[in-house]
């Protein structure tokens, strides 16, 4: 059984890699504008070449496929969401935040350029993400456009990612409930948004919208637990960044309450929940099924 899973994960890794190449062609065109200052464009080009797994945009396009939405229609929503995610990583690495020197094996943006351009590059990607949404969807379907903007702004702002980052930097207390809340906001909000984008783009009925929401929540929880495990047990060379950062800073994670094996079991339960939801969509959800296994077994 383990050999089969490892083989499937290898096949999916190649599939995700091929998707990332296809996605990046769109992403590089839409995240860089001709009329921007050259220094800003150089900064964006640098952060784009750092690559990434592109899990969130993959979620957008694959969840959209469940509702017969073509790649050519969902890709712009995927690009906008990934722009917001990239901005969050740039700011997360800043000296005033996590103070990281490397990400994905390369210098973080503020180390490669300077802190000011890193802040402004993040600001640019966040702001231009909403322009990407309006430019493409406003004439296609204004209602969809408004829903996409509303959900992304909520997921990225005070009720989502930014609020979660504040809780990470200034935790209320170290209880499990507060750690779960922080995880749901900081990491889970954009993953849930990615899944829900499929339902919005496909004009899915309420039942399917709720399914995508539950799927995104379960996936986000499993993703964060795996991140926490990798921070403790991961290989720095493979991760492309330092490990044991949370422990050094005295931050608590669910591992402190459940232990490594307990956390792995908890993550696996979330993955089972996610897979159960997607199973109702049959073969259309096969890539999402493989994604769930990839998330729980990934090494970076």
Dmax (CA) of the chain: 54
Q: What is the CATH number of the domain that holds 120?
A: 1.10.600.10
The whole-angstrom separation of Cα 229 and Cα 114 is: 31
- pLDDT for 52: 85
Between the alpha carbon of residue 62 and those of residues 7, 82, 95, 124, the distances in Å are: 21, 15, 36, 27
Query: What's the whole-number mean pLDDT along residues 281-285?
Result: 96
Dihedral over Cα of 223, 227, 229, 234: its sign: positive
CA 32/CA 132 separation, integer angstroms? 11
What is the pLDDT, as a whole number, of residue 85? 97
- In the chain, the percentage of residues whose pLDDT exceeds 90 is 79
Tally Cβ neighbours within 10 Å of residue 229: 18
Q: What is the domain count for the chain?
A: 1
pLDDT score of 5: 53
Q: What is the pLDDT of residues 167-209, one digit of tens each?
A: 999 887 768 889 999 999 999 999 999 999 999 999 999 999 9
Query: What pLDDT sits at residue 51?
Result: 76
pLDDT of residue 166: 95
102 lies in which domain range? 2-297
Joined together, the tokens standing for residue 35 give 């009329």
* 212 vs 205: CA distance, rounded Å: 11
Please tell me the predicted confidence (pLDDT) of residue 61.
98
Per-residue confidence band for 92, with pLDDT thresholds at 50, 70 and 90: very high
Q: Is 103 helix (H, G, I), strand (E, B) or coil?
A: strand
Average pLDDT value over all residues in the chain: 92
pLDDT at 15: 93
Q: What is the pLDDT of residue 105?
A: 83
Task: Give tens-digit pLDDT for 53-83.
Answer: 999 999 999 999 999 999 999 999 999 999 9
What is the β-pairing status of strands 102-103 and 106-107?
antiparallel
pLDDT of 296 over the 80 cut: yes
Q: Indicate the pLDDT class of residue 249, thresholds 50, 70 and 90.
A: confident
Are the C-beta atoms of residues 294 and 7 closer than 8 Å to each other?
no
Asked whether the beta carbons of 93 and 225 are under 8 A apart, the reply is: no
Q: What is the mean pLDDT of residues 209-237?
A: 91
| Integer angstrom CA distances of residue 65 from 60, 145, 187, 287 | 9, 18, 24, 10
**Percent of the chain residues topping a pLDDT of 70:** 94
Structure tokens at 98: 């996590």
Write out pLDDT tens, residues 10-59: 789 899 999 999 999 999 999 998 889 999 999 999 999 887 899 999 99
CA-CA distance, 209 to 13, in Å (whole number)? Answer: 28
pLDDT value for 182:
95
């Amino acid at each position: 059984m383990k050999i089969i899973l490892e083989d499937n994960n290898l096949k999916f890794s190649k599939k995700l890699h091929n998707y990332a190449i296809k996605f990046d062609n769109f992403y590089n065109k839409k995240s860089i504008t001709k009329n921007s200052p050259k220094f800003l464009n150089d900064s964006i080009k640098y952060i784009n070449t750092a690559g990434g797994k592109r899990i969130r945009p993959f979620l957008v396009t694959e969840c959209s496929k469940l509702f017969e939405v073509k790649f050519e229609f969902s890709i712009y929503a995927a690009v906008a969401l990934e722009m917001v995610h990239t901005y969050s990583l740039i700011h997360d690495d800043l000296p005033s935040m996590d103070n990281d020197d490397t990400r994905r094996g390369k210098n973080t943006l503020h180390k490669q350029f300077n802190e000011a351009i890193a802040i402004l590059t993040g600001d640019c990607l966040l702001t231009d993400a909403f322009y990407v949404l309006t430019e493409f969807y406003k004439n296609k379907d204004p209602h969809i456009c408004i829903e996409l903007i509303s959900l992304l702004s909520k997921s990225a702002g005070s009720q989502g990612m930014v609020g979660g980052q504040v809780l990470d930097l200034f935790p209320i207390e170290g209880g499990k409930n507060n750690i779960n809340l922080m995880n749901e906001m900081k990491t889970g909000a954009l993953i849930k948004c990615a899944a829900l984008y499929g339902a919005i783009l496909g004009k899915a009925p309420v039942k399917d919208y709720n399914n995508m929401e539950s799927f995104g929540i379960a996936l986000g929880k499993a993703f964060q637990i795996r991140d926490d495990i990798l921070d403790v047990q991961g290989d720095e060379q493979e991760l492309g960044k330092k490990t044991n950062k949370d422990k050094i800073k005295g931050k608590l994670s669910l591992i402190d309450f459940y232990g490594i094996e307990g956390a792995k079991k908890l993550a696996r339960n979330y993955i089972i929940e996610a897979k159960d939801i997607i199973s109702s969509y049959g073969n259309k959800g096969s890539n999402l099924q493989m994604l769930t296994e990839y998330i729980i077994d990934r090494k970076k």
